[in-house]
Chains A and B, each alone.
Chain A
Amino acid sequence: MKAEYTITVYTENQVGLLNRIAIIFSRRKINIESLNVSPSEAEGIHRFTVVINETEDVVRKLCRQIEKQVEVLKAYFNTNEEIIWQEMALYKVSTDEVAEKLKVERLLREYGARAVVIRKDYTIFETTGHREETDRLVEVLAPYGLIEFVRSARVAIIKASKGFHEKLKEFEAVEPAEELIENEFLDKADQVFTM
């Protein structure tokens, strides 16, 4: 069954790597719903956050293909239950319209919105949250003439992750530690191996 998966990829900072990772999806005609590239907790290591709608089987195979890339250190995939995530959105509206017709204060409270810029001609609000939350504010503002709307890619933290500092040390070692090769088979050995 298809579901929303968030793939977190730790990589070297290298020109061209974005393309190398992106074509793993496009080659299989898989649409990337959201893509974010940023620094990570480990110095010099970049972190890709990719959101796709696929089955677990496909996502697992994609992660193996991603990890196969020379400059990729590790790829994880998680369901929405396993992560904390946020998206940020900006909304530009006419100041006259909102000031007159909308109770701005209520808006700010109810949707956790913040006014980033207030000018005579326009105001820019910002919210951070899940897709439904940022979408709801779009609905509210639409009747008042939403001039511009933009939403960022998802950024996500894996609940169970201990971060990449320790892992990185293992990668740097010429002889890797045992734990380096995580192997889902091993954890489910009795399920896959029956005699």
Chain B
Amino acid sequence: MNTVEKKLENKIDQQPSIPPPLGGAGGGELSGSQAVLEACIAEGVDTIFGYPGGAIMPIYDALYDYNDQLKHVLVRHEQGGIHAGQGYARSSGKVGVVFATSGPGATNLVTGLADAMIDSTALVCITGQVFAHLLGTDAFQETDVINITTPVTKWNCQVTDAAEIPHVLAKAFYIARTGRPGPVLIDITKNAQIQKFNYEGYIKCEHIRSYRPKPIIRKEYIEQAAALINQAKKPFVLFGQGIILGKAEKEFKTFIEKGGLPAAWTILGLSALPTDHPQNVGMLGMHGNYGPNVLTNECDVLIAIGMRFDDRVTGRLDKYAKQAKIIHLDIDPAEIDKNVKADVPVWGDCKETLPLLTQLIEAKQHKDWLEKFNAYTQQEIDIVIQEELHPKEGELTMGEVIHLLNELTNGDAIIVTDVGQHQMVACRYAKFNQSKSNITSGGLGTMGFALPAAIGAKFGALDRTVVAVIGDGGFQMTLQEMGTIMQTELNVKILILNNRFLGMVRQWQQLFNDKRYSFVDIQSPDYVQLAKAYGIEGQSVDDRALLKSAIKTMLDHEGSYLLEVMVGKENNVFPMVPQGCSVSEIRLK
């Protein structure tokens, strides 16, 4: 970029009301609404999830003419729309785009924004707003969307002048997808949508002076990190979604293979490394695997990559890996030292830092150390896993359903989970061969996430099988999105694991509240009938002998399919790190 352009760029940053002075393709008179859609096309958007309403009508009117270039998916509730946008973003690695109207339309996005914020999902949400002259008058469907969404957006901005739209949207897409991704919301008043202005083309944003998406990599730290790893006897890698977001799966695999490093994942890191990789030692945290949790407090160097030491991962912080030197690789400087103090902070994009680190580490095999993980795995198999995956008698278990699903999909499906026991079981036992295959609400724990997210995930990866694994509680929160499936004739597999309880809360009530089952006994409608009403085939199964063929029927079915599996009412998820306990105090029963 030459200096003249640079100056222009900065000028634009300071004065967003001036449209970009350099004309790109397609100049001329345009309405604000058309400019919104032109921006979407220029940013490579192919699918939009949304719901129309009064204040966003001009954009929907313009959309009528863009139907051949932009696919719009009409959802049944704005929350469904934004979760679909999240699912799309996570299965495709692109920015999810969501449209909603003002007032209730916009407030219905809030849960999804909070979810996308905590799970670092790139979204651009566009909300309609009342006319600018009505702002602050308590007009019909007016709400202060900018202030409501400020804590749950990476960036948000209100536009009242159509001429600002190209520049603001360019910023929005740039901010959403770069650095640590996150949701961006742009609120556009109705007058700005209608207003015609002299459109001078769309210029993609590549620099904002007050925003540094990536910290500069400091070689000193790479060297220090490598020195620590090279001297380590018991190095242990924890990886999170940063690997997937940074598209650094290959770099990561090379890194751990060269160093012979055992690696465990957070639930958002799941699928970044194939589950059957010999150095993949399993899941971290509250319902994670036995070995990774216990050995966190035994390793000598802990290498955390693209993860944020969530409390569900660390358990009690003052007893977390105190014996170990901590190396923390993250793109977000605010994550360093936030929860766990790093001895060596490696700020930067792991796509760039990992190869630098790999160069400096010695090729090693930590056989004895890896063997230790295997020994714990064996104990876990004996006490928990065998019974969960291969029960001989009694009620069906969630684990055996997931196990059969693995067998029948070969680990190639995208699995979208909701929140609760089924989520933990699915994450623990699902097999994945490729990245971006596990989609779940990890940070916020949003029940009702799975069905709409699965719809979005399918749109983001049309060639892949998408299975939404959902509990009977979560499914009832957003089941209206079966209407979206019906209308789009989408092929999404819905696998309800019905234990007739809000299972995770019940498990806690059993273990910690003396079995005082307070409002966890939840009734279900006839899901198969309900699905039928939406034109979705389905069946319910409670017999072990029929389970495998039922799952096969679901997967083989041409369109969407709902399979309800009646599982044990009072099964618990183990192992478990009880709240307030150290990771090494993990219980196997």
Give the contacting residue for A70; candidates B175, B227, B334, B344; CB below 8 A. Answer: B175
Say yes or no: is B407 at the interface (Cβ < 8 Å to chain A). Answer: no
B332 touches A195 (CB 8 A): no
Minimal beta-carbon separation of A23 from chain B (angstroms):
5
A16 touches B210 (CB 8 A): no
Within 8 A of A (CB), among B550-567: none
Say yes or no: is B429 at the interface (Cβ < 8 Å to chain A). Answer: no
Within 8 A of B (CB), among A151-189: 168, 171-174, 176, 178, 180-181, 183, 185-186, 189
Within 8 A of A (CB), among B201-236: 206-212, 215-216, 218, 220-221, 224, 227-228, 231
Say yes or no: is B147 at the interface (Cβ < 8 Å to chain A). Answer: yes
Chain B residues whose CB sits within 8 angstroms of the CB of A176 once the complex forms: 212, 216
Q: In the bound complex, what is the Cα–Cα distance between A45 and B156 (angstroms)?
A: 19
Say yes or no: is A12 at the interface (Cβ < 8 Å to chain B). Answer: yes
A16-B337 contact given A23-B151, A186-B218, CB 8 Å threshold: no
Q: In the bound complex, what is the Cα–Cα distance between A171 and B150 (angstroms)?
A: 24
B14 touches A23 (CB 8 A): no
Say yes or no: is A15 at the interface (Cβ < 8 Å to chain B). Answer: yes
Give the contacting residue for B220; candidates A70, A71, A189; CB below 8 A. Answer: A189
Chain A residues whose CB sits within 8 angstroms of the CB of B218 once the complex forms: 181, 183, 186
Q: In the bound complex, what is the Cα–Cα distance between A27 and B148 (angstroms)?
A: 14
Chain A residues whose CB sits within 8 angstroms of the CB of B239 once the complex forms: none
A174 touches B150 (CB 8 A): no
B333 touches A67 (CB 8 A): yes
Chain B residues whose CB sits within 8 angstroms of the CB of A60 once the complex forms: 337
A16 touches B220 (CB 8 A): no
Say yes or no: is A192 at the interface (Cβ < 8 Å to chain B). Answer: yes
A181-B147 contact given A71-B210, A171-B209, A186-B220, CB 8 Å threshold: no
B210 touches A11 (CB 8 A): yes
B150 touches A23 (CB 8 A): yes
Chain A residues whose CB sits within 8 angstroms of the CB of B175 once the complex forms: 70
Q: In the bound complex, what is the Cα–Cα distance between A27 and B152 (angstroms)?
A: 12
Say yes or no: is A44 at the interface (Cβ < 8 Å to chain B). Answer: yes
Instruction: Give the interface SS of chain B, mostly helix, strand, loop or mixed.
Output: mixed
A181 touches B215 (CB 8 A): yes
- Residue total for B at the interface (Cβ-Cβ under 8 A): 41
Minimal beta-carbon separation of A76 from chain B (angstroms):
15
A16 touches B146 (CB 8 A): yes
| Interface bin, chain A | 35 or more
Minimal beta-carbon separation of A166 from chain B (angstroms):
14
Say yes or no: is A73 at the interface (Cβ < 8 Å to chain B). Answer: yes
A44 touches B216 (CB 8 A): no
Minimal beta-carbon separation of A39 from chain B (angstroms):
13
Q: In the bound complex, what is the Cα–Cα distance between A148 and B332 (angstroms)?
A: 47
A174 touches B147 (CB 8 A): no
B345 touches A174 (CB 8 A): no
A64-B151 contact given A70-B175, A174-B6, A195-B228, CB 8 Å threshold: no
B206 touches A70 (CB 8 A): no
Say yes or no: is A136 at the interface (Cβ < 8 Å to chain B). Answer: no
Q: In the bound complex, what is the Cα–Cα distance between A61 and B83 (angstroms)?
A: 30
Say yes or no: is A2 at the interface (Cβ < 8 Å to chain B). Answer: no
Q: In the bound complex, what is the Cα–Cα distance between A44 and B11 (angstroms)?
A: 10
Q: In the bound complex, what is the Cα–Cα distance between A151 and B57 (angstroms)?
A: 49
Minimal beta-carbon separation of B273 from chain A (angstroms):
28
Chain A residues whose CB sits within 8 angstroms of the CB of B22 once the complex forms: none
Give the contacting residue for B345; candidates A11, A20, A70, A185; CB below 8 A. Answer: A185
Give the contacting residue for B334; candidates A68, A174, A178, A195; CB below 8 A. Answer: A68
Minimal beta-carbon separation of A86 from chain B (angstroms):
28
A16-B212 contact given A61-B337, A65-B334, A174-B1, CB 8 Å threshold: no
Within 8 A of B (CB), among A4-31: 11-13, 15-16, 19-20, 23, 27
Say yes or no: is B579 at the interface (Cβ < 8 Å to chain A). Answer: no
Give the contacting residue for B14; candidates A44, A72, A181; CB below 8 A. Answer: A44
B151 touches A12 (CB 8 A): no
Give the contacting residue for B210; candidates A61, A70, A178, A185; CB below 8 A. Answer: A70
A15-B334 contact given A70-B211, A181-B347, A193-B224, CB 8 Å threshold: no
A61 touches B156 (CB 8 A): no
Closest to A26 in B: B151
Chain A residues whose CB sits within 8 angstroms of the CB of B220 once the complex forms: 186, 189
Q: In the bound complex, what is the Cα–Cα distance between A65 and B332 (angstroms)?
A: 10
Q: In the bound complex, what is the Cα–Cα distance between A176 and B220 (angstroms)?
A: 18
Within 8 A of B (CB), among A48-71: 60-61, 64-65, 67-68, 70-71
Say yes or no: is B277 at the interface (Cβ < 8 Å to chain A). Answer: no
Say yes or no: is B343 at the interface (Cβ < 8 Å to chain A). Answer: yes
Minimal beta-carbon separation of A186 from chain B (angstroms):
7
B209 touches A193 (CB 8 A): no
Type the 1/0 row for B129-167, where 1 means its CB is closer than 8 Å to any CB of A.
000000000000000001100110011111000000000
Give the contacting residue for A72; candidates B154, B210, B215; CB below 8 A. Answer: B210
Q: In the bound complex, what is the Cα–Cα distance between A180 and B215 (angstroms)?
A: 9
Say yes or no: is B338 at the interface (Cβ < 8 Å to chain A). Answer: yes
A64-B333 contact given A19-B150, A72-B210, CB 8 Å threshold: yes
- Top 3 A-B pairs, shortest CB-CB distance: A64-B334, A70-B155, A171-B209
28 contacts across the A-B interface (CB closer than 8 A): A13-B14, A16-B147, A16-B150, A20-B150, A23-B151, A27-B151, A44-B14, A60-B337, A61-B334, A64-B333, A64-B336, A67-B333, A68-B332, A68-B334, A70-B208, A171-B209, A172-B6, A172-B209, A173-B6, A181-B212, A181-B218, A183-B347, A185-B221, A186-B218, A186-B220, A192-B343, A193-B344, A195-B228
| 19 additional A-B residue pairs with CB within 8 Å, beyond A16-B157, A183-B218, A195-B227 | A12-B14, A16-B146, A61-B337, A61-B338, A70-B154, A70-B210, A71-B155, A71-B211, A73-B209, A73-B210, A172-B6, A172-B10, A172-B209, A174-B206, A176-B212, A180-B212, A180-B216, A185-B221, A189-B220
